Structure 1
Amino acid sequence: MVESTQTELSPARLQVLLLAHPDLDGFLQALAAYLSEHLAPVLGSSAPAGCSLRIVRPRRQPVQVGDGHVHQMPDMAAASVPVPGVEPAIAVLSCFRSRPGPLGAEDVRAVELAAAGIAPALALALRLDGQAHRANNLQAAMESRTVVDLAAGIIMGQNNCSQDRAVEILRSVSNSRNVKIRDVAAGVVAVVTDRVSTHFEE
């Protein structure tokens, strides 16, 4: 039977990992390394047990991160278990050992307990990463809107037209060239900026 003291993860250690690795990939790699270290004696391997984490989230690319070690897979016994409580993401913890032979029920239970132990920290890391992702998207959208508005203003001044008409012109060029409207707008702004800079050069 697996002793609970052997399978309990340190909340303080998980907190330190979160603080030390604000980026998700770095946190996952450090977490996988910690799990490898933690489960090595539990799984009875003379070498560190190998661990990896796979994260699947809606509208995001899947992420898979290991513990940073190179392991020879053919003779390894492995167990993969879901990490609970990270919805809407799906997280899977995979652990293996280099000693031949299948993992027993107690070994699998140890991996399950480890998955449950990392769930709160992983859920928080995913939430923070999601917030950072949304903030980056919002900033990009605001920057895109700003450059489109600037370009529309330039076109309005050059063609004595309304804002709607100026935006239509940008969209038309965007569609005909198969280029994003933001890139078309940036080109318009760049041309005017270059002209202004040249005008004031001595």
Structure 2
Amino acid sequence: MEQPATHSLVIEKIQDLLLDTQDVEDFLNELANFSAENLSGPRGEVLCGITLLRHRTAATVASSGPRARLLDELQYEYGDGPCLQCAREGVVVHIRDFTTETLWPDYAATVLNHGIRSVLAIPFELSGDDAKAGINLYSDRAGVFDSSAVEHALGYVSQASKGMRLAVRLAQHTDTAANLKAALDSRTVIDTAVGIIIGQNRCTQDEAMELIKSASSTRNMKLRDVALAIVESAGGGTLKTHFS
């Protein structure tokens, strides 16, 4: 492998990526590309994928290219593999040569068909976060990840974990904001429909709400969808919720 970048240079580069990219997705893809570049060397190119486990679901959130993403996603089809074990259990998984791999024989055979001989998967240090993640390094050659390469990769991931922790937290905040907005949108539609029913039927708020619930149960529709149909039939148009 090539001469590793110093820890300070890695931290500086990751800080630059955080500042220069527009969103979490862009940052993670740039991180995957930088990781592949940093961990490749004279013995060949290294492909990089980043696996994230959240809410019991695994996904490749970034990759250094389509081939790396494909190699990650093959594991999801089998339900297990080195990268999934790495992220799930927080352990380093090193397959020196897939031709001798016995733990995941079906996955190994598939990976070999794609020209991959070795993989090194290292967990990110996300500390108290619910999410778990791992970086997956693939090579077309067997035995590429020798002791010095593994040591280099471990040091690199330790530093890169700081940026990954921030990215995960930003993504969680974004999800929370999106969920809150969706809830407020639904509440706005339902409250508007209740007001329309009260005006049309001269009933109480509770009675109007019960009418919406009854229609939801009878038609097997969500409350929001029933309420939206009521608003649209009354000529209410598209409703907007002020949220920031």
Which category describes the TM-score, using the shorter chain as reference length?
Answer: 0.7 to 0.9
Specify the alignment match of 1:17 in structure 2.
17
Aligned to 1:50: 47
Equivalence map 1:39-118=2 (5 Å): 39-41=39-41, 44-46=42-44, 48-58=45-55, 61-64=57-60, 65-70=62-67, 73-86=114-127, 87-101=129-143, 103-118=145-160
Partner-residue secondary structure (3-state), 1:62: strand
> Cα offset for 1:24?
2.9
1:162 pairs with 2:204: yes
TM-score, normalising length: structure 1: 0.83
Point out the more displaced range, 150-159 or 108-117: 108-117
The amino acid that maps onto 2:187 is R
Aligned pairs (5 A) from 1:146-157: 146-157=188-199
Of residues 126-135 and 72-81 in structure 1, the stretch that sits farther from structure 2 once superposed is 72-81
1:26 aligns with 26
CA contact (8 A) 1:2 1:106 kept: no
Residue 198 of structure 1 corresponds to none
Aligned partners of 1:53 and 1:66 also within 8 Å: yes
Distance 1:147 1:12 in 2: 48
Q: Which AA in structure 1 matches 2:160?
A: I
Task: Give the letter for the 1:62 counterpart.
Answer: A
SS in structure 2 of the partner of residue 85 of structure 1: coil
> Does structure 1 retain, via aligned residues, the 8 Å contact 2:54–2:131?
yes
Provide the TM-score with structure 2 as the length reference.
0.70
Which has the higher mean CA deviation after the structures are superposed, 91-100 or 126-135? 91-100
CA contact (8 A) 1:174 1:180 kept: yes
RMSD: 2.4
Larger Rg: 1
The equivalent residue for 2:37 is 37
Deviations, residues 103-135 of structure 1 (Å, cap 9, x unaligned):
222222222222211111111111111111111
In structure 1, C-alpha distance between the alignment counterparts of 2:125 and 2:208, rounded to whole Å: 52
Aligned residues: percent identity? Answer: 32
Q: For residues 144 and 197 of structure 2, what CA distance do their matches in structure 1 show? A: 70
Deviation at 1:27, TM superposition (A): 2.1
* Runs of 5+ unmatched residues, structure 2: 69-112, 238-244
Gaps of 5+ in 1: 196-202
Bigger mean CA deviation after superposition, 66-75 or 183-192: 66-75
| Alpha-carbon offset, residue 58 of structure 1 | 2.8
Q: How many residues align?
A: 190
**Structure 1 counterpart of 2:178, which letter?**
N
- Tell me the CA shift for residue 33 of structure 1: 0.6
Q: Distance in 1 between matches of 2:24 and 2:162?
A: 14
